[in-house]
Structure 1
Amino acid sequence: MDKNRYMYFVGALLYVNLTALVILGLLLKFVIPTGARAIGSPPSFLGLSRHGWADLHGTLGILFIVLTVAHLLLNWNWVVQSSKRYFQDKWVKALLVLSAVWVPIIFVGWIVSR
């Protein structure tokens, strides 16, 4: 398979995965019941408990990260060329600063959400 087919496949999977993440997140927030409906029976939605849906949401989130990394690797030449165009000689420094800023923001967001 050539690179364009891989890019299309990864892009399509990213779209489907992100759509599923958003829909599942909205279902978890607004539709799937919380708490016990009856003593001894966990609340469920379409046969899965809230924890089952949350596990699926987490798995889709991990898959999204893997697909995003694959997408970035497949498009790395474009990232470098665009960075060179916008930042001229300082393109490497610009990418490093972006990474140095973005990674701690994600980490802090993860810590706060716990």
Structure 2
Amino acid sequence: MNDNLDTNNKIVLDLHDKSDSVLLVSESSIKVKILMEKMKYAFSTEGFKELKSSISNIANLYYSGDIWFNNGVDCELLEAGKNWKKGKVKINIQLEFIPDEPEPEIKDNDSVLDDMRQSIN
């Protein structure tokens, strides 16, 4: 396997459109849906407790882990050169699959037709 990953071709594995996909790691297979659910549970319980304790001296994360992962928490964002913007912050965990070989580029129909026309003439 190539150690230099080309993340330009990554495929995001999420619960919306890849939930029926299956990963084969070594000789074990697991559905993406199950892996994502287990990751979300781990991060929203023990992982979130670890996050809270590690940054407790600079931030008060008094909301439960579920809220951060499901609904998000009301907040304001200040970006450089801009005003405060109200919204929600939500923790999102995602899996990415990076193929060893990029998928072949699919030409649009016009390009294929142009190629055929040129070969005929």
TM-score with structure 2 setting the length: 0.30
> Between Structure 1 and Structure 2, whose CA radius of gyration is higher?
2
Q: Whose strand proportion is higher, 1 or 2?
A: 2
With a CA cutoff of 8 Å and minimum separation of 6, indicate the structure with the bigger relative contact order. 2
